[in-house]
Each structure stands twice: as structure tokens, then as C-alpha cells.
Amino acid sequence: MSSLIEQAAERLAKIREAGIELPDMPANLNPAALAVEPVAASQQMSRAELQPIPLSKPVQLDLIGLAAAGFLVPAAPRSHMADQYRVIKRPLIANATAKGAARVTHGNLIMLTSAMPGEGKSFTAINLAMSIASELDHTVMLVDADVARPSVLKKLGLPEAPGLLDLLEGKAEMSDVLMRTNIDKLTILPSGRPHPKSTELLASDTMRQLLSGMASRYPDRIIIFDSPPLLLTTESRVLAAQMGQVVLVVHAGKTLQADVQHALSTIENCPIRMMLLNKARTDTQGAYGYGYGYGYGYGYGESYGYGYGDKAQPQADTAIARGLADAPKAG
């Protein structure tokens, strides 16, 4: 036994000489235990020192404040806006679960974008995620993919945090950056730290592998991406090429017809393209004509028209088709 203890002491001395800090040993620890696999023990300590401290934790959304700002929240009274989002999400969920007109690869990856800034895409992405979170059979992940000008965390009253770009750089794991909210079925993936090669990161094999894993790991999860405007950056076009569905948010009465057509042309190869008409005003208080005044800085939300932007999509009803027909005339 003495030789074994001496051997352990020698190995312990070598570990310390190598500059590896050892924790204080419990008084009842037999030093001979270190002689069994001393190299493995030292490697374990080295790995532990290199492991990043978890950066994410459960986050608390201020549901009362969000409701006052015009966002959908759980347990809120039924409203016209909530009904509109029920109509908006239904075909998206059908396509995501292969119950639409045709099976779509990665149909549960849904990108919300716009032609230009200020059309309400981030507001719409958040509310769509909130609405899907109320589903009984689905969970939702909201990804802030507007890496140039991220706004999801700010709108939700949360501080900046590592996220998507950190994952793509290999500086974090999903468990480090994914935020679990106090809305049971809603998680958030921030955009992460700005990077000069964000377009290249989004176009990388790492991104394709990440999206494939995200799409297939949880069959009941729908993933909403808030992306940059199509006509200002290249990131959104790169991202759109990897999505199953793309929703183009159009500001009624503001967005130019030429901008809408140009934006649609940049995503013409996407399998499913849809269009959502934001702030459309109607003369009647029907299912698509409500007046809302939101207090979150932008004043989004009087009404939402909704329609399909791809002739391959299933036939829409009259009200939905009208939303699409009116959109290119806006502005």
C-alpha cells in the first residue's frame, strides 16, 4: 500500500508542476485513488476549466407590460387581434405539419421578413409566436435572425444576450443561449453578438446543419425567424433559401408596389411564399377590419390581411385572397 501511496504522491506532484490547480481534497479521501487514473482526472479538470459558464437561464416576460404594448399574451381576454392571428397561423401550422397542399421540407421553419424596415415584421413575428404558443399540440421557438438590427429581446423587455451567431462561431452551445420563458411553450433564441461575416455564417454548412437539427429534433416545434428586410441586406436572402415557408409583411398604404415585387423576386425559389398585409384599413368591422392602437413605439396593428403569394398553394377563401390582391397596390 505504501508504494501505491508514494506513486500517487509522485503523480500529484507532476500534476501540480504542470500548472494544473487542484481543489482541496476532502480529509477522508484516500490519496491512492489518484493513482488509478490520474491522467484522466487531470483531463477532466482541464475540460471543466474550459467549459463556458452557462449564459442562459429561465427568463421572465412582463406579460402585463407586453399586453399593454399591444402584444398577445396567454390568458388574455379574446380579442379581434387574437382572432386574426388564429386565421394567420392556421395555414402555416398545416404546412409545418405536412397537412397542407403538399409536403414541404423543413415546413416548420418559418421566416418573417419585409421589403423595407418599419413594416411591422418583428411585431408580427412576436405575436405569431405568442399565438402558436397557445396551441395544445405545438411548441414554438422564436429566433431573432435580424443579425444586423436585432430587436426581439428589446421589444420583449429583455437584455442583450449571446445567441445564433455565437452558435455558428462555435462559441456557445444551444443549451447556453436558448431562453426558456414563463410562457410554457415559448423559447427564444437571440441573434447573438454582431459579427462582420454574419452573411457568411448564415450561409455556412454549420448553419445548414443547425437548421436541419432544429427542424427535425422536435416534430411538434414550430420555429419562427424574424429576419432582416429583403431589400436592405443579403442575410435575409441567404436565410430564405433554407426556410420551408416565408411570410412577407407589407405595410398597407406605405410599401411601394415595385418594392413588393422586387422583394418577392428575391425569394422566388422558396417553396412557400405568403404575404401578410399589415395596418390595412377597411370600412367594416369584419374579420379583417379592426382598429387597434398599440403603444410600442411603432403604432402597429390596425388590421391584418393575409394571403398566399404562390400559385402552388391551396385555394384561399375570398377574404384571404383579397388581402393578397390589395397588397401590391399599397403605396
Query: How confident is the model at residue 282, as a pLDDT?
Result: 53
- Can you give the pTM of this predicted structure? 0.70
The helix or strand, by DSSP H or E, that contains position 199, with its residue range, turns out to be helix 198-202
Domain extents in the chain: 2-50, 63-329
To the nearest whole percent, how much of the chain has pLDDT over 70?
67
Euclidean distance between CA atoms 202 and 182, whole angstroms: 29
> What grid cell was written down for 205?
454548412
Could you tell me if 180 and 187 are in contact, meaning their C-beta atoms sit under 8 angstroms apart? yes
- Phi, psi at residue 108, to the nearest 5°? -85, 5
Q: Where are the beta strands (DSSP E) in 215-311?
A: 221-226, 245-251, 273-278, 304-308
Q: Which of 206, 215, 162, 207 is nearest to 188 (CA)?
A: 162
CATH code, 63-329: 3.40.50.300
Query: How confident is the model at residue 104, as a pLDDT?
Result: 85
Q: Which of 131, 132, 125, 120 is nearest to 254 (CA)?
A: 120
| Orientation angle between helical segments 2-17 and 38-50, nearest 10 degrees | 30
Query: How confident is the model at residue 13, as a pLDDT?
Result: 66
For residue 41, give the amino acid letter. A
Q: Which of 244, 319, 275, 315 is nearest to 93 (CA)?
A: 244
Q: What is the pLDDT along the chain (331 residues), one digit of tens a residue?
A: 445 556 666 765 665 665 555 544 444 444 444 443 333 433 433 333 334 434 457 999 999 999 999 999 988 888 999 999 999 999 999 999 988 766 788 999 999 999 999 999 999 999 999 999 999 999 999 999 999 899 999 999 999 999 999 999 999 999 899 999 999 999 999 999 888 888 899 989 999 999 999 998 888 899 999 999 999 888 889 999 999 999 999 998 888 999 999 999 999 888 899 999 988 765 444 433 322 222 222 223 333 333 333 333 322 222 232 333 333 333 3
Query: How confident is the model at residue 150, as a pLDDT?
Result: 93
Q: Is the dihedral of CA 66, 69, 74, 75 positive or negative?
A: positive
Give ∠ CA 94-107-182 in degrees, rounded to 5: 80
Euclidean distance between CA atoms 202 and 237, whole angstroms: 10
